Structure 1
């Protein structure tokens, strides 16, 4: 799950609390660069940079197939 601009993963509290979702899916929420307590190695970054970070995280977690849920910039 990817949150919209100026929000955080707290936007998905209801999804993480939903037993129906939790029983069928492994839920993961990513924090976009520049949000919450994330730090980028460069001063300027793009949304594509955040997408690249998410893909790297998915690779590190061994996730090869996923359904992505997002809103606004996260969608």
Structure 2
């Protein structure tokens, strides 16, 4: 699943393919924004772990869970 995260006071966004489902990512973001968790912790498909302080989150865009198609569509 494609996830893009905007971080306050940073000109670039963080984008990666998350290993979690859309519901799991949404729960983690909600917990970080409500203060239940001090940080947002997500991992990508390669095993890299991303930890972002909840107070630094500007936005989180959760993409579709569909895999990308390669080639021509007939």
TM-score of the superposed pair, with normalisation by structure 2: 0.29
- The structure with the greater share of residues assigned to helix is 1
Computing the radius of gyration from Cα coordinates, the structure with the larger value is: 2
> Does 1 or 2 have the higher relative contact order (CA < 8 Å, sep 6+)?
1
- Give the number of the structure whose residues are more often strand, by fraction: 2
State the TM-score, normalizing by the size of structure 1.
0.28
